[in-house]
Amino acid sequence: MFPSFRPNSFILFLFLSSLFIFLLPFTTTSHGVAEDHAKTPSHTPKICGTNQRHDDASELNEFFPEADDPTITRIPSDSNVGQLSDPSAVSHIANPLLQRAHTALRAWKSAIVSDPHNFTGNWVGDDVCTYNGIVCTPSLDDPTRHAVAGIDLNKADLEGHLPMELSLFHEVSLIHLNSNKFRGQIPQKLSKLVHLQELDLSNNGFHGPFPEEVLRLPNLKYLDLRYNNFEGVLPPELFDKDLDALFINNNRFNGTLPINIGNSKLSAMVLANNNFEGGIPKSIGNMNQTLNEIVIGNNSFSGCLPLELGSLINVAVLDISLNSFTGVLPEKMIEGLQNVEQLNVANNKLTGTLPHGICQLKKLDNFTYSSNYFNGNRLECQRPGKVEFDPGLNYIDGEEEGEEEEERTKEEFAFAAFEHSASCSEQKNEIPSGRSSYSPAPSSLSPSSHRIVLEQQPAASLPPVGGFGYASPPPPMMKDN
């Protein structure tokens, strides 16, 4: 038998079937949109709970434009720095600070053409904090993360150049590259290292004008460029910076010292073995609160010694040797140097008698005044402690026998006094009397014929001194030509 027909149930069945057929297209479309949305990547990927990856990637893309995935570091190949290497050579580093450091160190390793001691041999893998010469500390902005804070490649004997990727070390505060064979010029992007406090590029082969990139480093305190091939004049802006120590000796800098030198708060200023000329700006007296070491020997400075040098009451080392300063050694200047321990005025064209105030300098250990035109009597200081005097090649009465063998004659000194002291007469201690009764000496007997040169000592052997922890030049080592 057939089942009984129920109209109400049949009508309900037809209604539900029609409704399903009507809604089916809308259901399929909605599902497709949902699938498409699920396949669309986020425009601001977040790593470690932050949304800063986009900015970090943008900076990396400045060096690697093809790197469209901001969550990974593309490692530049050794043969083609700045271009993408094999896509399989990638490093998944979640910390963006170490990610940038990894990129920079890979580029730097590629820029090194000689590594005889395999110093960079362990510059492999993601953990840059274990690389030789790399020091990591908690980040300044986020102590839960680490960042590269120091780079110390001193005496590694590396040869190559500095890549532009150095600017990726955003939190580095110390870069020491003493005694390597790096060459070329300083990358312009170095000025992005806003936390850098110490920069030591000494004893390398860098060249070009003074690297003005360092003038844009807001926190720089210590700058060491000695024993390189930099040249040209010093920018006045250098002495408006809040530097503590400046070592630029043994380069090829020239020109005169900027007149705003007195704006500086330097405690150590070493400019020796360059080609500077002109006089010492009087504004140097404004450095009296901070300056305790000034070495400007073996340049071409000339003119009178400014009395303002006597304002440098904290100076312990004053070396103006191997220049062409004229006139007398001012008594007032000497009286102000109450803390000087090493005073070197040798190999200039200074005249007159030695200031008696020398004997009143209680901390003075060594006074070198050889190869000038001083005359008069030898100083006999009656005070505790012995002062070492180096008087050679002057005309000082009372020198021990043998010391006078190379002394100049009275005729030479009369000529020198007449030639070199006239322009500084307002500072004179004593102008030799009767100078007109002597005949001029031959010009070949000037101090330059007995010139002494500073022996260049590589910066690698310079010891740290004082409370700075910096490497300061040793006392000049002299030898006859």
Lowest average pLDDT, out of 319-328, 407-416, 465-474, goes to: 465-474
| Residue bearing the bigger pLDDT, 60 or 300 | 300
Contact between 308 and 332 under an 8 Å Cβ cutoff? The reply is no
Residue 309 has pLDDT above 70, yes or no: yes
Q: What is the pTM of this model?
A: 0.72
251-274: average pLDDT: 98
- Taking the C-alpha atoms of residue 160 and residue 71, their distance in angstroms, rounded to an integer, is 30
The model's pLDDT over 44-77, given as tens digits with 9 standing for 90+, comes to 332 232 333 334 444 554 544 434 444 333 333 3
Phi and psi dihedrals of 369, rounded to 5? -135, 25
- Taking the C-alpha atoms of residue 458 and residue 51, their distance in angstroms, rounded to an integer, is 49
Pick from 118, 117, 137, 141: nearest CA to 128: 137
Phi and psi dihedrals of 405, rounded to 5? -60, -35
- Taking the C-alpha atoms of residue 154 and residue 464, their distance in angstroms, rounded to an integer, is 13
The model's pLDDT over 184-202, given as tens digits with 9 standing for 90+, comes to 999 999 999 999 999 999 9
Residue 25 has pLDDT above 70, yes or no: no
Three-state SS annotation for 49-61: CECCHHHHHHHHH
How large a percentage of the chain has pLDDT more than 90?
57
372-392: average pLDDT: 74
The model's pLDDT over 267-286, given as tens digits with 9 standing for 90+, comes to 999 999 999 999 999 999 99
Tell me, what's the pLDDT at 49? 29
**Predicted confidence band of residue 227 (pLDDT cuts 50, 70, 90):** very high
Tell me, what's the pLDDT at 168? 97
| Residue bearing the bigger pLDDT, 384 or 47 | 384
- Taking the C-alpha atoms of residue 200 and residue 471, their distance in angstroms, rounded to an integer, is 9
Pick from 50, 97, 44, 89: nearest CA to 70: 44
The model's pLDDT over 150-165, given as tens digits with 9 standing for 90+, comes to 999 999 999 999 999 9
**Predicted confidence band of residue 380 (pLDDT cuts 50, 70, 90):** confident
The model's pLDDT over 331-347, given as tens digits with 9 standing for 90+, comes to 999 999 999 999 999 99
Strands 470-471 and 464-465: antiparallel
Strands 112-114 and 159-160: antiparallel
Lowest average pLDDT, out of 99-108, 114-123, 452-461, goes to: 452-461
388-393: average pLDDT: 67
